[in-house]
């Protein structure tokens, strides 16, 4: 028997495996819970998303109830997505002073002062055409005019009390525009977490049902990244850092662990990964059919994301893990 390396010696007991574990266990401070808040006249509105079992569209009142339970279980950070009552080509609900996300931020800030509130900054949930920016008559996404509306959106979120804004639109120059706008509005200390490396992924399908944000024509491949490209992701990250991003997001997470690792090793900046809706739904479906041990797979998938280099993970499993006490606080 080879006596120079006996790996099994260090795997013999749970206590020993824990002592030499390279990647720390997933904790509450690693995770960010996404919520979908709906502008509605029905205070008790709570609608399960068919393709995302256990996830809901929530009215303001129901959001407060659900977040209260999660905070009691140890929830520390959330990211908000809004669904307005009406949509228009300009996505005006995104930057309205009394828009649904702005209302939600003010409400949550009042009831949960220690909760860290991140807001998604994009127009896709608010535009009638479902794209992340304004469209030309020919159907092309207009980059620079969109930046003005994104800046108004981010500033309105800051005024409502958000702790961090997270632009997900993938317009060129958006970080510079948002930083300038926030600074001009005296929000110089408000950080920007950029969806810097966001792929045009088929894994977003359930989210588009949840946020009611599917494009009415065409797709988003002209502004989101080609899944085949890795080095382009590094260029996107470099550009956003140069423009003033404080943190970066890689999205999706599981199919892009190599990208997470490359960004982590290349740039000394806090890194977040988004375990997106399709990743959640696949695990949930397999678990419901008894094909996998769902709880074990959830923790293994999150550990893989953390091992790749993500310090923060946006995951729809956050509430469930906290409720079942499967992670430490």
Break the chain into its structural domains and give their ranges: 24-323
What is the pTM (predicted TM-score) of this model? 0.95
**Which of 251, 284, 311, 324 is an active site residue?**
251
| pLDDT for the residue numbered 83 | 95
| pLDDT for the residue numbered 258 | 98
SS (H, E, C) 189-252: CCCEEEEEEEECCHHHHHHHHHHCCCCCCCCCCCCCECCCCCHHHHHHHHHHHHHCCCEEEEEC
| pLDDT for the residue numbered 216 | 76
Q: Is residue 239 within 8 Å of residue 183, measured between CB atoms?
A: no
Strand-pairing partners, residue 83, are: 38
| pLDDT for the residue numbered 180 | 98
**Which of 87, 198, 284, 306 is an active site residue?**
198
Q: Which residues of the chain have pLDDT under 70?
A: 1-3, 218
| pLDDT for the residue numbered 220 | 82
By C-alpha distance, which of 282, 122, 304, 281 is closest to 215? 122
Residue 198 designated active-site: yes
Q: How far apart are CA 19 and CA 59, in angstroms?
A: 45
Strand-pairing partners, residue 27, are: 328
By C-alpha distance, which of 293, 308, 299, 307 is closest to 326? 299
Q: How far apart are CA 30 and CA 273, in angstroms?
A: 10
Domain covering 24-323: architecture: Alpha-Beta Barrel (3.20)
| pLDDT for the residue numbered 2 | 59
SS (H, E, C) 160-196: HCCCEEEECCCCCCHHHHHHHHHHHCCCCCCCEEEEE
Q: Where are the beta strands (DSSP E) in the chain?
A: 31-38, 46-48, 56-58, 77-83, 116-121, 164-167, 193-198, 247-251, 271-275, 312-315
By C-alpha distance, which of 79, 165, 86, 168 is closest to 123? 168
């Amino acid at each position: 028997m080879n006596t120079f390396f006996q790996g099994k010696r260090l795997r013999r007991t749970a206590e020993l495996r824990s002592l030499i574990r390279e990647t720390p266990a997933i904790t509450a401070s690693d995770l960010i819970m996404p919520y979908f808040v709906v502008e509605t006249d029905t205070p008790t509105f709570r609608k399960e998303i068919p393709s995302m079992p256990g996830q809901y569209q929530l009215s303001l009142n129901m959001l407060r109830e659900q977040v209260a339970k999660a905070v009691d279980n140890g929830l520390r950070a959330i990211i908000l997505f809004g669904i307005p009552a009406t949509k228009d080509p300009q996505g005006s609900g995104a930057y309205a002073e009394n828009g649904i996300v702005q209302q939600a931020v003010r409400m949550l800030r009042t009831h949960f002062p220690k909760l860290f509130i991140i807001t998604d900054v994009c127009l896709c949930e608010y535009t009638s055409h479902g794209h992340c920016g304004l469209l030309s008559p020919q159907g092309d996404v207009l980059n620079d005019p969109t930046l003005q509306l994104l800046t108004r959106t981010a500033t309105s979120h800051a005024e409502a009390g958000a702790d961090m804004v997270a632009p997900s639109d993938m317009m060129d120059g958006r970080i510079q525009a948002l930083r300038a706008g926030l600074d001009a509005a005296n929000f110089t200390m408000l950080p920007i977490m950029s969806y810097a490396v966001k792929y045009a992924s088929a894994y977003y399908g359930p989210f588009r049902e949840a946020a009611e944000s599917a494009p009415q024509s065409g797709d988003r491949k002209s502004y989101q990244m080609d899944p085949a490209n890795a080095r382009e992701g590094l260029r996107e990250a470099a550009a956003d850092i140069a423009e003033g991003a404080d943190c970066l997001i890689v999205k999706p997470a599981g199919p892009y662990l190599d990208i997470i690792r490359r960004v982590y090793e290349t740039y000394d900046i806090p890194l977040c990964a988004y375990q997106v809706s399709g990743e959640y739904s696949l695990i949930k479906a397999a678990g419901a059919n008894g094909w996998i041990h769902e709880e074990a797979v959830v923790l293994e998938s999150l550990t893989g994301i953390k091992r790749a280099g993500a310090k923060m993970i946006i995951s729809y499993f956050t509430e469930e893990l906290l409720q079942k006490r499967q992670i430490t606080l």
